Amino acid sequence: MELTGKTAIVTGSGRGIGLGIALAMGREGANVVINDRYLDDARKAAERINAGGGKAIGLAADVTNFDEIEAMVAETLRRFGTVDILVNNAGIESTPMLLKDVPERQWDRVLGVNLKGTFLCCKAVIPVMMRQNKGRIININSLAGRRMTFFGSADYTASKHGQVGLTLHLAWELADSNITVNAICPGATLTPLAEEGTTVEYREMVTKRLIPLGRWCTTDDVAGAAIYFASDRADMVTGQLLDVDGGVMTGYGEDLRAVIRQRMEQVQQAPAGKQ
């Protein structure tokens, strides 16, 4: 097991990609701190790791609140003694609309969680990692940080590009403390939320037009990349963006603006919870 004896905090890991990463790190021997805004979700996820013979705790914290993050880190240190790995997975999508229609409160919320949240979590764990002269920071980004999003709005694209810049800067800034900082950029990923929020027909359209390998990513696909960055195999890897996308970045084959704007209109008209 590649992560035996190491302690990982995975934010936003009560479900979806974060849960997949947390479960994989538990299987690889790490002590895992499951973070979620909802304590029940965090505890249920931790129970899954513990039931499989791993060690995990579930802690609630809002990544936009530094006091809550500091409390989470303090409890991690109390329980496990260190923080070796931080996975900044917590993030939110934006309601898809043109920039002219984006409310200021949506912009602030998306940038607050996706970019400021990464900054605050890094700020809380970096002193610990610097004292031990080693650490791994893994930011779960998106193809929106490489080009743009087809599924959200400009606020989401801006937040993910900002996280890429933070990743590169921290990789340089922390190198002399033996702390690596990398980002994973998943393509369309089949999470429960994605299944609920899209139709089969829509997913098939995206696959046919954009994904050369012919399927959406799974959470296990993304988790595999996270395990690599967290492992000793990646000692000399920092400041890198790893696309886990089935080949999407080989090039968009079509002008999909009409399709995406139609999707935006459908979302605006859908009842709450059916987007």
At residue 274, the pLDDT reads 45
Question: Per-residue pLDDT for 119 more than 90?
Answer: yes
pLDDT in tens, 94-103: 888 999 999 9
* CATH, residue 174: 3.40.50.720
Catalytic residue among 156, 202, 228, 252: 156
Say if 48 falls within a structural domain. Answer: yes
Say if 36 falls within a structural domain. Answer: yes
Q: What is the mean pLDDT of residues 252-275?
A: 69
Alpha-carbon distance of 84 to 9, in angstroms, equals: 8
Say if 240 falls within a structural domain. Answer: yes
Say if 75 falls within a structural domain. Answer: yes
Say if 203 falls within a structural domain. Answer: no
Domain that holds residue 34: 7-191+216-251
Percent composition of the chain: helix, strand, coil (DSSP 3-state, to 5): 55, 15, 30
Helix (H) / strand (E) containing 32: strand 31-36
Comparing C-alpha atoms, which of 15, 19, 55, 32 is closest to residue 230?
32
Average per-residue pLDDT for the chain:
93
Alpha-carbon distance of 190 to 153, in angstroms, equals: 20
β-sheet bridge partners, residue 137: 86, 181
Question: Per-residue pLDDT for 233 more than 90?
Answer: yes
Say if 260 falls within a structural domain. Answer: no
At residue 254, the pLDDT reads 61
Q: Report how many domains make up the chain.
A: 1
Work out the angle between the directed axes of helices 154-173 and 117-132 (0-180°, nearest 10).
Answer: 10
pLDDT classification of 257: cutoffs 50, 70, 90: confident
Report the percent of the chain where pLDDT is more than 70: 96
pLDDT classification of 195: cutoffs 50, 70, 90: confident
pLDDT classification of 210: cutoffs 50, 70, 90: confident
Alpha-carbon distance of 119 to 243, in angstroms, equals: 22
pLDDT in tens, 146-177: 998 877 899 999 999 999 999 999 999 999 99
At residue 111, the pLDDT reads 98
Say if 38 falls within a structural domain. Answer: yes
Among this protein's residues, is 202 annotated catalytic?
Answer: no
pLDDT in tens, 236-245: 999 999 999 9
pLDDT in tens, 46-62: 999 999 999 999 999 99
- The position carrying tokens 């035996």 is 4
Say if 89 falls within a structural domain. Answer: yes
Report pTM.
0.91
